[in-house]
Amino acid sequence: MNDMHAVATDVATVKLLIDGEFVESSTAHWRDVVNPATQAVLARVPMATPAEIDAAVAAAQRAFKTWRKTPIGARARIFLKYQQLIREHMGELAAILTAEQGKTLPDAEGDVFRGLEVVEHAAAIGNLQLGELANNVAGGVDTYTLLQPLGVCAGITPFNFPAMIPLWMFPMAIATGNTFVLKPSEQDPLVTMRLCELALQAGIPKGVLNVVHGGETAVNAICDHPDIKAVSFVGSTKVGTHVYQRASLAGKRVQCMMGAKNHAVVLADANKEQTLNALAGAAFGAAGQRCMAASTAVLVGAANDWIADLVAKAKTLKVNAGTEAGTDVGPVISCAARERVEGLIASGVEQGATLELDGRAPAVPGYERGNFVGPTIFSGAAPGMRIYDEEIFGPVLVILRAETLDEAIELVNANPNGNGTAIFTQSGAAARRFQEDIDVGQVGINVPIPVPVPLFSFSGSRASKLGDLGPYGKQAVTFYTQTKTVTARWFDDDTLGHGVNTTISL
C-alpha cells in the first residue's frame, strides 16, 4: 500500500495520542478520510513520522514502569467506568462510524456493542489474570505461577470494524498491565480516536494508551521496534502474513487474524425461511465487508431449488446511505473497493458462473457519488473461478452445488481459508458431523455469523490465522502475559538441613 495520498487542506486533522496528549503530527504526508456515501472529506489523517512512532513507544515504555504495578482493582475500575462512558456515547459513536465507514447506523451500534462486550470483560480482569498454585510439590516447597504483563504491546486494525477491533485489543492488553500503541486503519480512524478519548476520560493514565497513524511504513516500524514486545494484527491475509513474519523475526509475540471465505452449508431439511433470511443478512449485511460474512453458500441436493427464493429475498434489501432509515446495504469503503468488487463480478461472468442477480451500479437517489454495489448472486461457481478463490469483501454471494454433506465438507476443507462457517439443518446428527469434521475456527449451527462472545476467544484456522492465541477472552490473557513459575521454600527454623545436595531434586 502506498502511504502517499492527495488531501484536502481545509478540514480537521486527526491527532496522534502520545503520552496522554492529542498532538498534531509534523509529517508532510496526509490522506483524506472520506464519507463513502457522499465522498465528503471528513478529516485528514497523518502518516506519522518515525520520530513520532518512537515517541509513542517511549511514552508507553515509561508508563509501563508504574502501570504494571497498579493494583488489579484500580485497573478493573477504569474499565467499569469506560463501559459506562461507551454506553452513554453510543449514538454519537455510531454516527461517527457510519459517516466514515458507511455501514448502517444500527449496524454501527452493533460494531460498538461487540467491542463494548470486551470492555465489560476487561472489567472482570481480577478473575481472569489468576495464577495457579501447587502446594507441597516437595517437602515444604510450593510452586505457583504469576501472569505478568509483557511491556509495550501494539495493535494494527482494519477498516471494517473501526470500533470493535481496536476494542478487541487495547482493553485486554491494558487490563492485564501492559501499555499500548495502536495503529488504526487510515481509512476510518475517527471513531477509534473518539473511543480513545473516552478511554482517557475513564482514567487510563498518560502513556498507557498511545495512537499513531499511517500505513505500510508505520506498520513496518511497529514490527521492527525493539521496545515493542507483542503485536496484534487484524486485516488481510497478505498484510497479516507479512506482519507475522516481520514482527516474529524481530522477536515479538504475534497474533494475526486475517482474510476469509466463509461457507454456509445448507441442507434441504433446514427451516427454509429462517435459512434464507440468515443467508441474505450474513452475505449482504455491512455490504459484505465482514471477515465473517457468509460470502459462499454450498447448497446440498434439493436445497438447490431455493435459488430463486434467495434472489427474491435479496431483491427486497434496500441499498442506501447508512444514515437513511430502513437501509439494509450501505456503500463499500472506497471507490477503489467498489471498482475491485465490480471487476470481480465481471470476472465471474467471464469465467462462466451464472449471474442470478446483478447489483452493479444501483440507483441511489441523493447519493449518486456513493460507492454502492447492490446485492449480487452467482450460482454455478466452482474452485478456479476468481469469485470463489478470492475474498470479494463486497455484497456478493457465490453459490456452489454439492450432492451430499460429505461433498460439502470436503469442499469447505479444501478452501485455504478457515475463518468461519455455518451449517443450516434440522438434523442433529448432520450438525454434529459437520462440527467434528470441518476444519474451520468458528462454526455456526443455524447461526450465520458465529462470532463468539468474550467469554470465549475469536478463533480461525489455516490461512485465516497466524499465531496460536486469539484476541479477547481467555486466550487474550495468555497472549498479553508471560507466565512466570515460582518455586519457594521457607525455612521455619534455623536447622542446618541435610547439607549440600548435588542432585536435581527439590
Q: Give the number of C-alpha atoms closer than 13 A to the C-alpha of residue 14, restricted to the C-beta side.
A: 34
- Cell numbers linked to 59: 511514552
- Shortest distance, CB of residue 208 to ligand NAD, whole angstroms? 21
Q: All 3 cell numbers of residue 438?
A: 470441518
User: Smaller CB distance to ligand NAD: residue 78 or 292?
Assistant: 292
Q: How far apart are CA 385 and CA 350, in angstroms?
A: 9
Tell me whether residue 37 or residue 260 sits nearer to ligand NAD (CB atom).
260
Q: Which residue has the cell 471465505?
A: 261
Q: How far apart are CA 258 and CA 350, in angstroms?
A: 28
Active site residue 291: yes
Residues 234 and 261: their CA atoms lie apart, in Å, by: 15
Contact call for residues 182 and 213 (beta carbons, < 8 A): no
d(CA 439, CA 409): 9
CA gap 155, 213 in Å, rounded: 11
Integer Cα distance of 258 and 251 in angstroms: 21
Residues 334, 329: Cα–Cα separation, whole Å:
15
Please state, in angstroms and rounded to a whole number, the distance separating the CA atoms of residues 365 and 132. Answer: 62
Got the DSSP string for 266-291?
A: E-TTS-HHHHHHHHHHHHHGGGG--T
The Cα–Cα gap between 276 and 209 comes to 43
Q: Which is nearer to ligand NAD, 13 or 217 (CB)?
A: 217
Determine contact, residues 481/129, Cβ cutoff 8 Å. Answer: yes
- How does DSSP classify residue 319? B
Buried b (16+ CB within 10 A) or exposed e, 262-271: bbbbbbeebe
* Cα 33 to Cα 40: distance, rounded to the nearest angstrom: 9
Q: What is the dihedral angle through the alpha carbons of 388, 243, 122, 72, rounded to the nearest 10 degrees?
A: 160
Q: Say which of 153, 196, 291, 335 is annotated catalytic.
A: 291
CB 67 within 8 A of CB 179: yes
Residues forming the site for ligand NAD (CB under 6 A):
1, 156-161, 183, 185-186, 215-216, 219, 234-236, 239, 242, 257-260, 291, 391, 393, 419, 458, 460, 464
Ordered strands of the 354-357 beta sheet: 354-357, 376-379, 396-402, 296-300, 263-266, 420-424, 442-445
The least CB distance from residue 419 to ligand NAD, in Å, is 5
* Catalytic residue numbers, as ranges: 291
